[in-house]
Structure 1
Amino acid sequence: MDEQSGPGPSDGLAPLLRPVRVGNGFEEALEQILQVIRLGLVSEGDRLPSERDLADRLGVSRVTLREVLKVLADQGIVESRRGRYGGTFVHERPGPVGDGSAAELRRRITTVDVEDTLRFREVLEVGAAGLCAAQGLDRAQAVRLREALAQTRDAPLAEYRRRDTLLHLTVARLSGSPSLAGQYAAVRATVNDLLDCIPLLVRNLEHSQHQHTALVEAILDGDPDAAAEVMREHCAGTAALLRGFLA
């Protein structure tokens, strides 16, 4: 891809394009670039900053950035052009994407307080993970957790979200608090309604699986701090994707 320079650090993109947190580079880089496009800071037909510039601003590798740009290109949001005047150009300003009708997607977004839902989900999930690790699991419970993890690892793409939900519900149920598990089931249903509005991204799913594995290992090791931190990062990655696509 051509490496002509895009706008410099003093341009209007500077407040939005900032180094991402370690652990969710792909998701947060995707969120920031989508925000730039949604806000019209790079107009349709105009070129994004160069790969080198974007990678430097976001604090990600060129490999990660290219994966982000490929997702945006696959969704028809940007277009890559080669040659002397090449680069990555904004193709169209994105609205919510997914398999549902436009009216249904608008209904979901306007009837849900996305930020409140994501905060509540994080509180419940982080708490459940910490409780599981702190109290320890018996042999049967550990088997249940490992089996739930294995089901997500082997899931075909069309089944992934359902099995991912079951893994998270398993953690909530093993927390020892039926009230927490019940509240989590309700909020997860709302989160899934929102997730159904965005595409399944293979790169994101691979990252989620690494986090799932680290989470289960921390719980089985009886390390509540590590379990809570992994879950917090995991929730932050999902939140970044939703904010990017549904803002």
Structure 2
Amino acid sequence: MFKAVKQNRAYQDVVEQIQDAIISGTLKPGSQLPAERELKESFGISRGTLREALRVLEQKGLIEIRTGVSGGSIVREVNSEQLSENLGLLIRNRTVSLRDLAEFRKGIEGGVAVLAAQRANEQDKAALRALLAEAEGYLKQGRRGWDAFIRTDEKLHMALASISANQLFISVLESVYLNIHTYYENFLPREKRVLQENFDDLSGIVAAVEAGDGERARELAQGHVDRFNAYMEEKGPR
């Protein structure tokens, strides 16, 4: 299954070979990697190099290292949840710059808007209109309705993701919206005009989705991200 590695990049080669075996299905979820001695001989590496590689694989969520008599390196199931967990940590700890977050969101949310416009049925459109009406109610409360408005805004974005019917988009955006509050709380001005502009953007996106105009929906979704990123960059780090 494995072959000797190049010594100048030994642990990286080990990581890549085991990772490829897991992703390809050669190593099944729940199975145990060969014993440490066997892995050392297969790769032609030291114990320290092997353990470094296994730690990296564990950090990636590809294996679980168990100790004790029945211990060993157990292969974990590869799914979008691991990606979401890692992305969530990056956002929650604000280790992603505002610019990088905006560029990432523009790509994801633009694509989601296009798919939503192509795939929305009448029930989906009614759900979007209901969320828009809910947001408008909180908008009328001014600053008192700020937090509730933001939560409804997130529900509307997630509704668009759900309509896209793309599980990766759904999983990634769930992670984004569960953790992006730390940026809003630190860098977004809590002013009614900001809520009004947010609402106007959402209204335009919903209208484009209802009309089946994917390119217009993409344009509005990406402009929405740009607008609010600009507000946060005025107050926060780049």
Give me the whole-angstrom Cα distance separating, in 2, the residues matched to 1:231 and 1:115: 16
TM-score for both structures, normalised by structure 1: 0.53
Q: Is residue 124 of structure 2 the alignment partner of residue 141 of structure 1? A: yes
Q: Is residue 214 of structure 2 the alignment partner of residue 230 of structure 1? A: no
**Cross-structure match for 1:189:** 178
Q: Is residue 121 of structure 2 the alignment partner of residue 131 of structure 1? A: no
Give the superposition deviation at 1:108.
6.5
Give, as a single letter, the amino acid of the residue that structure 2 aligns with 1:193.
Answer: T
TM-score for both structures, normalised by structure 2: 0.55
What is the Cα-based RMSD across aligned positions, in Å? 1.9
* Secondary structure class of the residue paired with 2:127: helix
CA contact (8 A) 2:201 2:220 kept: yes
Distance 1:171 1:140, change over 3 A: same
Match among 128, 131, 134 for residue 151 of structure 1: 134
Give me the whole-angstrom Cα distance separating, in 2, the residues matched to 1:152 and 1:165: 10
CA contact (8 A) 2:94 2:183 kept: no
For structure 2, the 5+ residue unaligned runs are 1-90, 139-144
CA contact (8 A) 2:94 2:182 kept: no
Give me the whole-angstrom Cα distance separating, in 2, the residues matched to 1:180 and 1:108: 19
Give, as a single letter, the amino acid of the residue that structure 1 aligns with 2:130.
Answer: E
Give the superposition deviation at 1:207.
1.2
Distance 1:144 1:119, change over 3 A: same
Give me the whole-angstrom Cα distance separating, in 1, the residues matched to 2:125 and 2:178: 25
Structure 1 or 2: larger helix share?
2
Q: Max radius of gyration: which structure?
A: 2
How many residue pairs align between the two structures?
A: 140
Give the superposition deviation at 1:188.
2.4
Identity %: 24
Match among 96, 113, 133 for residue 112 of structure 1: 96
Give me the whole-angstrom Cα distance separating, in 2, the residues matched to 1:175 and 1:161: 21
Higher relative contact order (CA 8 A, sep 6+): 1
Distance 1:110 1:228, change over 3 A: closer
Distance 1:108 1:224, change over 3 A: closer
Distance 1:129 1:110, change over 3 A: closer
Distance 1:189 1:119, change over 3 A: farther
